[in-house]
Structure 1
Amino acid sequence: MTDTGSSRPKDARSEATDHHGDPVRPTPETQPGSLFGPDAQFHRFFNDPRWALAVLRATVLEAAHPQIGAALIDNSTFVAHPWRRLRNTLVSLQRMFEADDDTRRREAARLNRLHARLSGTDAQNRPYDAMDPQVRAWVVATLFESSVTMCRLSGQPLDRTTMEQLYAEFQAYLGAFGDQAGHLPPTLKEFWQYYDHMVQEELEDTEALRVILYKLFDHLPAPPLLDGLPTVWAAGRALAGPVLGTITVASLPESFRRRAGLPEIPGAQSLMHSAYVGVGLARFLPDNWLRAENVTSLLYLSPDSDDPRAATLNALRDRMKRAGALFRLVTPFPAQDGSAEGAEPRRSAEEFFTAVLDQTGDGYLDWPDLAAMARELSSRLDLDEPEETKLYNAYAEWWRELQAALDIDGDGRISREEYAAAVPSLAGPALIRVAEVLFDVTDTDGNQSIDADEYRALFRTGFRRTVADADADADADADADATYSRSAFVKDFLSFMSGRWSSTPFDPLLAEA
């Protein structure tokens, strides 16, 4: 691998053709500053709507790696909270490709701390470690290769200069984590050899791959924007899910499809090419419509947000509810979650277990679920050390307390039934400690109260709409003066985590998809 940010691979220009047979063009030296920042090729792809398909394809190829697949199954929230994971991934990529070196170093350190906590053994007793440099290299390799393939499948193959630039950027991205040279090949010719070897020899038909292709698409939860519209979402998902799965499978390397036994559906290749070309036409839309951060912010815009766009979207939601009611009359789709469209949610202990505690979606509560909570809270608050470790340690102590009190059969995890039988006993000293630590890391100025800015950092919503002691009719200046005391915060958090509240600011924080 080349130096992490100043040069492109030295001997990459010696090839006659690239991996797809495109002619080689003389490649000018890459300017150091262009590997990151606004001039990077990455930003062109990041806001390209086709990249959504490319990232999905890359995720499947990552999940087919035995170590990555095992880590996803054991630790990831991608099944229960896919939209949250998508948003966090996009935010992280943006930070890593910022022109500001301090922002990039800080995000790389955060990701290194996160990955250092992910290790274990898979179902075949093989070890996995998210800090393994070869594993990290494969993640970056799939992003690069899928970006190249995205352009080829949509009839716009990259020229040699652009491909060289993009590869140098992804090499620099990997190098920003501190990994040593050699974990990604130094030249494009060697990269394609490495990629073919990985696809043909190393990838497997993992459980994580099957979950993504045949469970996630069929059971994808609604994003926050469409929460409360289950019929509309179920109808759209029933149509789009199988199509998206077919497109993704068809875009995978043929040799891997055969080895993994993935189905060959007649017409899938034509559908896949049409999808890439069709989505690519969106590039003719206004630029601000295509910015990834604008799209994700809309998906996460809650109905009670004080964002100016919320009023327009709420009117649209009302029309969609009416359409959903009409649709329900003429289709067999049942109402979801046992409630009517837009009704206030009423959760039993079992429902709270599934929506909040079981973050990984495997049907049990164990340490990876609480670690996922700590990870999400740390990400929202953008915590550095030692605050991040304090929060993780508080959750670890709570897990030990829960395990001692609720793990009746001694299998090292807590079932839904074990939890439901002991709900009243959950608000013990360790959970109180979690609440206090969360308050401390949210209260950045240390004045023993959470102000409007600190509140928004944690809950991503307006203060006056959710804090009881703030006057709902007050103007913006009065809203800015509202505060959340330590005692009130701890009380609310304990009430939520013991399942006594069904609708609080903490619901979208830990239960949103």
Structure 2
Amino acid sequence: MVTADLPGPESLLRRTLGEWRIGLVAWRLLVLQNADPAVAAGVTSFSTYRAHPWRRIEHTMDSGKRLFFSDREGLRREVARLERTHRRLAGTDEQGRPFSASDPAVRVWVLVTLYESMTTMRELSGHPLTAPELEQMYGEFRAVCAEFELPDDLFPATAADVPAYVDRTIRERLEYGEPVRYLLFDMLREAPAPRRLGRLAPAWPLMRTVAAHVIEALTVADLPEAFRERFGLVRTRRAALLSFTLHRGMRVLMNVLPEHRRYRTPLTGNVAAPIPPIASGDPSSVPETGPVRLPAPRRRKGADARPVRLRAFFSQILDQTGDGHINSADLQAMAHNVCWPLELGPEQEAQVYAAFEVWWQQLRTGMDADEDGRVSCEEFVTAVLAGIDEGPAYLEQGLHVALRAVFHAVDTDGSGHLCADEYRTVFGGSRVHPAELNHGFRQVDHDGDGRITEDEFVQAFTDFFTARSDSTAGSQLLGRA
């Protein structure tokens, strides 16, 4: 089998996908993908987009960079990682239909919608690709898709066949379910402030209201006509004018910007491996400024601080899907978030997932009082307090198993301790303020030697769960009162 060359820095695909204005069709892309019943079921059962929308979007963008802006080795690593993730996303939807994220037809739809969105962006801007350009970009796109080893006959044969494929899929397979409705009308109205807003965060309630109206109108206006017709979505004159203005205006802006400002992803960059945000191994190199997340509510002096901390841990850490309960999917999402920035091999990744499954089985067995297959916040708090008051073995049988797996995964050089860079890689990222990383590292580094041993790592989380006051260092892992 002959392997086609991957698109290079000057390829039409990279130049189209890399422009900032691709964001204008991003929400439209999500709507089309989530309208597939299997995607919708996977999102409902496993996705963290309700509780952590910005992190979920960040992961999606990172994956796109690794797929379309990497060399072949980086591309293959990302394809393998996605395949391992998708194998875990299977089950039965609310109508009793089995679904799997590994279904080849579903994966082809998700991929082709990206190509279709790129061509739509160009068309809406008033500067559509010519027929030869469409074929060129489709060939570049298929060269990347070839690494997924999906059946060729599931893809449109040529660029000219893509519109008919999209139209047929919309009319025969797509559904207007809750994930689609939520994306269109509610998600941005409920989303927390992105951390990058900084001092503008107090204005977020007003900003998100305006953004929600604009994105809702723009998305409905830009969706394929077949989609709007089938699901009764109306393209108003005002929305059509908004679409015309934004797409044409952004095209003009992109054309006058210097190239390094025009592209959100460097065309020549190899982004196969993530780079820790700070290179120094000294935790003191992170500035001690700015707010720290999750400050604890005021309590009566001498009151037991554990219930408040455990509720914060439940809502901010455990409840990944944001539905007010935890189940196996929430613990899988936690394992995914550990593995994501580390690019672990299959065996190491499996060990992390297995450890979190052990923790979930302990939670389910000891906390699911009403036997509904999930654990509420109060069930969690009540059971944890009873367990830790009974003896230290309680944490060792669940939480500690997961923590030790996390430690060994993050200890990428096998040194037996975590340096500041390793800590930042898994607990940091663009969404976390540097001061939070600095504070968190210091809470775990008990002896202040600039590195964290496995025992220190486990002990810090033990203190968080067991300390009755907030004076113990580990009790402040999620923030300072």
TM range (shorter): 0.7 to 0.9
Task: Find the residue that maps to 2:126 and give its secondary structure.
Answer: coil
Give how far 1:261 is off. Answer: 2.8
Give how far 1:378 is off. Answer: 0.3
- One of 342, 345, 353 as aligned partner of 1:392: 353
- One of 46, 49, 53 as aligned partner of 1:78: 49
- One of 75, 81, 93 as aligned partner of 1:110: 81
Give how far 1:350 is off. Answer: 3.7
Instruction: Provide closer, same or farther for how the CA distance between residues 407 and 227 of structure 1 changes in structure 2, counting only shifts above 3 A.
Output: farther
Give how far 1:228 is off. Answer: 7.3
Task: Find the residue that maps to 1:421 and give its secondary structure.
Answer: helix
Tell me the TM-score normalized by structure 2.
Answer: 0.82
Q: Where does 1:194-209 land on structure 2 (aligned, <5 Å)?
A: 194-209=165-180
Instruction: Count residues with an aligned counterpart.
Output: 434
Higher relative contact order (CA 8 A, sep 6+): 2
Cα RMSD after superposing both structures = 3.2
Instruction: Provide closer, same or farther for how the CA distance between residues 266 and 494 of structure 1 changes in structure 2, counting only shifts above 3 A.
Output: farther
Instruction: Provide closer, same or farther for how the CA distance between residues 345 and 263 of structure 1 changes in structure 2, counting only shifts above 3 A.
Output: farther
Give how far 1:264 is off. Answer: 4.3
CA distance in 2 between partners of 1:149 and 1:79 (Å): 28
% identical aligned pairs: 36
Task: Find the residue that maps to 1:182 and give its secondary structure.
Answer: helix
Instruction: Provide closer, same or farther for how the CA distance between residues 345 and 288 of structure 1 changes in structure 2, counting only shifts above 3 A.
Output: farther
- One of 442, 450, 454 as aligned partner of 1:468: 442
Give how far 1:64 is off. Answer: 0.7
Residue 450 of structure 2 corresponds to which residue in structure 1? 482
Q: Deviations over 1:215-243 (max 9, x none)?
A: 21211222222367542111211211111
CA distance in 1 between partners of 2:141 and 2:69 (Å): 13
- One of 419, 426, 448 as aligned partner of 2:416: 448
Q: Deviations over 1:118-157 (max 9, x none)?
A: 0011111111111111000000111111111111111111
Instruction: Provide closer, same or farther for how the CA distance between residues 63 and 344 of structure 1 changes in structure 2, counting only shifts above 3 A.
Output: closer
Task: Find the residue that maps to 2:153 and give its secondary structure.
Answer: coil
Instruction: Provide closer, same or farther for how the CA distance between residues 105 and 496 of structure 1 changes in structure 2, counting only shifts above 3 A.
Output: farther
CA distance in 1 between partners of 2:343 and 2:331 (Å): 18
Gaps of 5+ in 1: 7-32, 295-299, 318-340, 472-478, 508-513
Moved more, 188-197 or 202-211: 188-197
Task: Find the residue that maps to 1:90 and give its secondary structure.
Answer: helix
Q: Is the 8 A contact 2:221 2:239 kept in 1?
A: yes
Task: Find the residue that maps to 2:461 and give its secondary structure.
Answer: helix
Give how far 1:4 is off. Answer: 7.9
Residue 25 of structure 2 corresponds to which residue in structure 1? 54
Q: Is the 8 A contact 2:17 2:118 kept in 1?
A: no
Q: Deviations over 1:49-85 (max 9, x none)?
A: 2211222211100011111111111111122212212
CA distance in 2 between partners of 1:498 and 1:237 (Å): 38
Q: Is the 8 A contact 2:444 2:460 kept in 1?
A: no
Give how far 1:301 is off. Answer: 8.4
2:379 corresponds to 1:379: no
Give how far 1:250 is off. Answer: 1.3
2:317 corresponds to 1:345: no
- One of 127, 134, 156 as aligned partner of 1:185: 156
2:184 corresponds to 1:213: yes
Instruction: Provide closer, same or farther for how the CA distance between residues 274 and 498 of structure 1 changes in structure 2, counting only shifts above 3 A.
Output: farther
Residue 272 of structure 2 corresponds to which residue in structure 1? none
Residue 492 of structure 1 corresponds to which residue in structure 2? 460
- One of 27, 37, 43 as aligned partner of 2:8: 37
- One of 369, 383, 404 as aligned partner of 1:436: 404
Give how far 1:408 is off. Answer: 0.6
Residue 332 of structure 1 corresponds to which residue in structure 2? none
Give how far 1:422 is off. Answer: 2.8
Q: Is the 8 A contact 2:19 2:265 kept in 1?
A: no
Instruction: Provide closer, same or farther for how the CA distance between residues 93 and 392 of structure 1 changes in structure 2, counting only shifts above 3 A.
Output: same
Q: Is the 8 A contact 1:464 1:470 kept in 2?
A: no
- One of 273, 281, 292 as aligned partner of 2:264: 292
Q: Deviations over 1:185-244 (max 9, x none)?
A: 212233222111011221111111011112212112222223675421112112111111
Partner AA of 2:22 in structure 1: W
Q: Deviations over 1:311-366 (max 9, x none)?
A: 8xx8xx9xxxxxxxxxxxxxxxxxxxxxxx98862263444322221111122101
2:376 corresponds to 1:411: no
Instruction: Provide closer, same or farther for how the CA distance between residues 344 and 132 of structure 1 changes in structure 2, counting only shifts above 3 A.
Output: closer
Q: Is the 8 A contact 2:87 2:102 kept in 1?
A: yes
Residue 270 of structure 2 corresponds to which residue in structure 1? none
CA distance in 2 between partners of 1:485 and 1:343 (Å): 25
Residue 329 of structure 2 corresponds to which residue in structure 1? 368
- One of 64, 70, 73 as aligned partner of 1:93: 64
Give how far 1:266 is off. Answer: 4.4
